[in-house]
Every structure is written in structure tokens, then in C-alpha cells.
Amino acid sequence: MLRPDGIRLSKALGQNFVVDPNTVRRIARLAEVGPADHVLEIGAGLGSLTLALAETGASITAVEVDKRLARLLAHVVSPVGVTVVEGDAMTLDWSALLAGAPTWVLVANLPYNVATPLVADLLDTVPAITRMLVMVQKEAGERLAASRGSDAYGAVSVKVAYWATASVVARVPRSVFLPEPKVDSVLVSIVRHPAPAVTTVPAAELFALVRAGFGHRRKMLRRSLAGVVSPECFEAAGVRPEARPEELDVHAWGRLAACATSSGLPPS
């Protein structure tokens, strides 16, 4: 499909497409979507996953930033009722794009260079997306789904836990991609909570504190948050001042941020 138009895939856009039919059908099964669902696919490429999703009977909207590929994609998937949108997922008007249905499921092979910020942005700003099944680089996927105390746990893990429950549900070998990447991939399931995990402090204040803590993850919190969190707040929140940021789950971060905010100290 690429050869007649002389199209070369772009490393800058993270274009590594799944070319194994068993893999895309497996992803569609794990997505658990059907005729009642509206599915958003980002980075649809040449449509291999798009076609597998269309087979489920779901209503599919496929987004592709590369205008060369968007034309080919439309030729492949428009006959089966898929809506193709040419645009950059980092700058799209989501409220306009998703206005046709109250809830959406994101199913996508995300470009490695935008996967983490895009997932975080969608969780923050697009509540209409209630579920995600995303294929991302293995290390990025492990960070998204990491639990407190694990090596992969970081600020983005707290962000995900604030909004949703996440888990790695499958591993994807590099051999199913064209071109073959130098890293392995995983599928991460993300299911949005009915309400944020922490409601006692605004999200902006909570995440500012989390970023400040993980900005010095080798330091004890009493040092990395000095001048931000008082000794009294550590005690009130039930958090040891000697703890390191990876020891705190989202609820502990919430207690610490709520106390710091109510004490009038700047979050960071």
C-alpha cells in the first residue's frame, strides 16, 4: 500500500504499524467493545487495527495525523463505515470530535513519543473517554500501571491512579510491527473511576506536590518537600517524613496535599 505512493514511514511520528492479523483481533477482543460502543482510535495508520475493531460492530472514529496515510486509511476503512479524521491528537478539539456520543472507548497503538503525555491529558480533560486499551512501549506501560513501592512507580502512576484503575493485560512482541521497533510493547487497560480517588484537594495542588516529591525521588520527603509540607502535616497525614515518594499511594499524597493547602503553604 505504501509503495505506489513512495511513502516512507516516519520515525519522528513514531510510525510502527501492527501487521499481524492475529494481534489486532486479539486487541479487539481485549477491548471488549461491540455494537453499543463508540470507539476512538488514535494513530490508525493503514487501518489494520481499525478493521479488527470494525468487525466488532462498534462505531469507529479513526484519527491519523499524517495526511499521506489519512488518504490511504480512508480508502481502506470508509467502506466499512469508519469515520476518518486527519488531525494531531495533542491539539484536537475533543469536545467537538466526541460530541456524537456521551461515552467513548479509546483503543489505540499509540506512538511511543506521545503515549504518556497523551494518556495523562485525556484523563485530565476528556471525561467522555471512560475506558482505554492502549498499546505503548513496555517501560511506559509499566509506569502507567505501576503500584506504590515498585521501581516503575512515579508521578504519572499517581496521576493514573487518581483518575482510573490501570493494569498491563498483555505483552506484544516487536516482531508484529512494521518496521520492527527496538523495544517491546504492552497493552494497558485503563478504566476511569466514577469520581477522582481524592476529593479533598484540587487536582492542580495535588499534582504540583506529587511532581515536587518525585522531582527528588532519592531524597526523603522531609527534604524534597521542605518549605512546602510542615512537620505537622506529615503527622496529620500519617506519612513518615523519612519516606520516599514511591512509598505513597494516591490517597497518602491526597492527605499530604490537603493539609499543606489548608495550612497556606505553596504546593510547589
Q: Is residue 198 part of a domain?
A: no
Query: Do 10 and 98 reside in the same domain of the chain?
Result: yes
Query: Do 245 and 187 reside in the same domain of the chain?
Result: no
Query: Do 217 and 183 reside in the same domain of the chain?
Result: no
Query: Do 44 and 63 reside in the same domain of the chain?
Result: yes
Q: What is the pLDDT of residue 181?
A: 81
Query: Do 223 and 132 reside in the same domain of the chain?
Result: no
How many residues are listed for the chain in this entry? Answer: 268
Q: Is residue 139 part of a domain?
A: yes
109, 135 contact by CB (below 8 A): yes
Q: Is residue 197 part of a domain?
A: no
Of 114, 24, 9, 5, whose CA–CA distance to 66 is shortest? 9
Q: Is residue 154 part of a domain?
A: yes
Q: Is residue 233 part of a domain?
A: yes
Q: Is residue 224 part of a domain?
A: yes
| Number of domains forming the structure of the chain | 2
Query: Do 134 and 210 reside in the same domain of the chain?
Result: no
Q: What is the CATH number of the domain that holds 21?
A: 3.40.50.150
* Separation in Å, CA 9 to CA 3, 66, 116, 178, 186: 11, 10, 22, 9, 22
User: Residues of the chain whose pLDDT is less than 50?
Assistant: 267-268
Query: Do 183 and 214 reside in the same domain of the chain?
Result: no
Tens-digit pLDDT profile for residues 139-173? 999 999 999 999 999 999 999 999 999 999 999 99
What's the CA gap between 71 and 189, in Å, rounded?
A: 30
Q: What is the pLDDT of residue 268?
A: 44
Q: What is the CATH number of the domain that holds 248?
A: 1.10.8.100
Q: Is residue 90 part of a domain?
A: yes
User: Of the candidates 192, 222, 243, which is a domain's last residue?
Assistant: 192
Which pTM does this prediction carry?
A: 0.92
What's the CA gap between 157 and 143, in Å, rounded?
A: 6
Q: What is the pLDDT of residue 19?
A: 81
Q: What is the pLDDT of residue 103?
A: 98
Query: Do 76 and 170 reside in the same domain of the chain?
Result: yes
Query: Do 81 and 178 reside in the same domain of the chain?
Result: yes
Query: Do 219 and 136 reside in the same domain of the chain?
Result: no
Return the sign of the alpha-carbon dihedral for residues 8, 14, 19, 21: negative
Q: What residues make up the domain containing 216?
A: 203-262
Query: Do 84 and 212 reside in the same domain of the chain?
Result: no
Which residue has cell 505553596? 266
142, 119 contact by CB (below 8 A): no
User: Of the candidates 192, 214, 244, which is a domain's last residue?
Assistant: 192
State in Å, rounded, how far the first CA of the chain is from the last one. 51
What SS3 state is found at 109? Answer: strand
Q: What is the pLDDT of residue 109?
A: 92
Q: Is residue 41 part of a domain?
A: yes
User: Of the candidates 171, 192, 213, which is a domain's last residue?
Assistant: 192
Query: Do 228 and 113 reside in the same domain of the chain?
Result: no
